[in-house]
Structure 1
């Protein structure tokens, strides 16, 4: 990867792997029986949350708000049980997540496409590391699917360099920055990830609610995230909704990107939203946008291929 490249990943980017949008997460919390059963299987030390879960589920349902983060921002008295709901729900999604040909939408599998771009021309893991030198990832998602996919892919591509006893969760050679925290650091036992999904739920949920942050808990903009964007040549917004609070968190509500090529997947964005995105990046060198994450990456990294999707490029 010749250009300094930063990916900004939102909830929409993880949908091909079985994860929900904000509206899908709402449905999981208020109407998914699998998640409700999971909450009832909690050990005794967490059972005290069950009555509060039932209470909060009804309140959140009748609020009609699509985003639980938005609801908790307005109702901080439910912050703790809200985090239990988020963590428990996303851990069930992790357990059922699928990658590669088994993903929910194999034709939208941008994880595999990106891995193959980074793997191009490599013979050893050192070659792969060199290809990753200019890549950084900023994610607004709590789940660890991106890390899980890349660790599996690295270990099973470079098998001589990563026998079971030589594996580490630090084997991904580029920065992955979770803006609002995650469900916890991945852990390795006997060469396999031991804490992805709902394994040891009493430990996972207790740990996860300590790690994740709700939007309103930390209002200051993320200096590290903005630096990764500001110093990049190319910035890709993948499945990112351009919510005002998230833009503020990145510092993009008040700061201008100069000399940066911006790429954005704008699936389901309406015309007024697209115009707002144009204005947001008026200081950048150019704005490229397509409907899906994979289309966006394919057009950039396979420029000689004939595009079969809508693409708009604007130079400022």
Structure 2
């Protein structure tokens, strides 16, 4: 059980255990998704779902007679994305760098939505309903993958010490900033609550809804069934993808919205910060910068898998600056508190959660 207000900050690496792509893989899948059958002779997209959406949208925007010309605009936008994306550190920085180019922005967001929703469908969180002689073996393999995730350690930290009578307070000291578009955190919390405490899905989803989860760049559909824009985890209809794309935000859009302030408040109020699978990209660090807020952090935990010691030192200093505890931070009105304890496990998310759970749960 958490005894102190703790904010978990999740990057792409935090979803990897559950079958979601890291930055390079996401880039490659987007490039593949936006390929055309023959760039010299056709404007038909190789991916049938993508082609159907863009053909329908082209007719809607330009009319039947002019739709081939509009579809050609999308084909050129797709070519620009495929050519330029490998030179960007992330799809988010790529989109933001070309902000104002409407077709490129829409097509990039549409591709993100498609890739992530397909990853949800293929993740071990999505039940497999198969009619096969080895169906039981397939379900066992799926459960094994699910239990291998670091999320299991998270659920133990959150739920130990609680009973079915205290579940309304299970997330009282937990909040999450999720830089990913997927909803695997919310789905895992719901599934694990159902299994751990023997409650139904409606009750579990309601409890998850009481937990503060902020997605700086939006997400591929609302998680709660009664929320606007709801899409079931692991499933979608083709016509929903355009709406999903509209729910994805760029860095600039986030900074200009009230989401940016919510992120900063969540960071500033935490006694403990836990960075999991985070990539330390400059624009993401900027979103976490608390501005003039006072901060409470006493401890910061972070995964720094495969990072050199010098790079880890840079990360530590950046975190101190975010929290207004750095060497070059403008002074507080009162004497500035000391920098928080910085604890890094050079392994992955599972290693950090397994090796640091006592320190995470102490008062």
Same-fold status (TM-score > 0.5) = yes
Q: Secondary structure at the match of 1:281?
A: helix
Q: Structure 1-normalised TM-score? A: 0.81
String of CA shifts for 1:214-248, please: whole Å, max 9, x gaps.
11333358221122221211100111111111111
Partner of 1:307: none
Are 2:211 and 1:174 aligned?
A: yes
Are 2:156 and 1:116 aligned?
A: yes
Contact 1:53 1:85 in 2 (8 A): no
Contact 1:103 1:109 in 2 (8 A): no
Contact 1:109 1:294 in 2 (8 A): yes
String of CA shifts for 1:133-161, please: whole Å, max 9, x gaps.
111111111111111111122234333x4
In structure 2, what is the Cα distance between the partners aligned to 1:147 and 1:2?
21
Partner of 1:287: 342
Partner of 1:310: none
Using a 3 Å threshold, how does the CA distance of structure 1 residues 52 and 15 change in structure 2: closer, same or farther? Answer: farther
Partner of 1:134: 173
In structure 2, what is the Cα distance between the partners aligned to 1:21 and 1:213?
19
In structure 1, what is the Cα distance between the partners aligned to 2:195 and 2:234?
21
The one of 92, 107, 121 equivalent to 1:95 is 121
Using a 3 Å threshold, how does the CA distance of structure 1 residues 258 and 175 change in structure 2: closer, same or farther? Answer: closer
Q: Secondary structure at the match of 1:289?
A: strand
Q: Secondary structure at the match of 2:342?
A: strand
Partner of 1:23: 24
Alignment of 1:174-253 (within 5 A): 174-188=211-225, 195-203=232-240, 205-220=241-256, 222-251=260-289
Q: CA deviation at 1:115?
A: 1.1
Are 2:183 and 1:152 aligned?
A: no
Q: CA deviation at 1:86?
A: 1.1
In structure 2, what is the Cα distance between the partners aligned to 1:175 and 1:264?
20
String of CA shifts for 1:97-146, please: whole Å, max 9, x gaps.
1249637966751112111222213331x323334211111111111111
Q: CA deviation at 1:11?
A: 0.9
CA RMSD of aligned residues (A): 3.2
Q: CA deviation at 1:253?
A: 8.0
String of CA shifts for 1:250-300, please: whole Å, max 9, x gaps.
115887856420010012333442121121234332100112112112222
Q: CA deviation at 1:51?
A: 4.7
In structure 2, what is the Cα distance between the partners aligned to 1:26 and 1:200?
23
CA radius of gyration, larger in: 2
5+ residue gaps, structure 1, are: 304-316
Q: CA deviation at 1:93?
A: 1.1
The one of 291, 296, 300 equivalent to 1:262 is 300
Partner of 2:92: 69
The aligned length equals: 296
String of CA shifts for 1:12-70, please: whole Å, max 9, x gaps.
11011111122111100112589924323548634668655543333223223242222
In structure 1, what is the Cα distance between the partners aligned to 2:184 and 2:46?
19
Q: Secondary structure at the match of 1:170?
A: helix
In structure 1, what is the Cα distance between the partners aligned to 2:151 and 2:340?
27
Q: Structure 2-normalised TM-score? A: 0.71
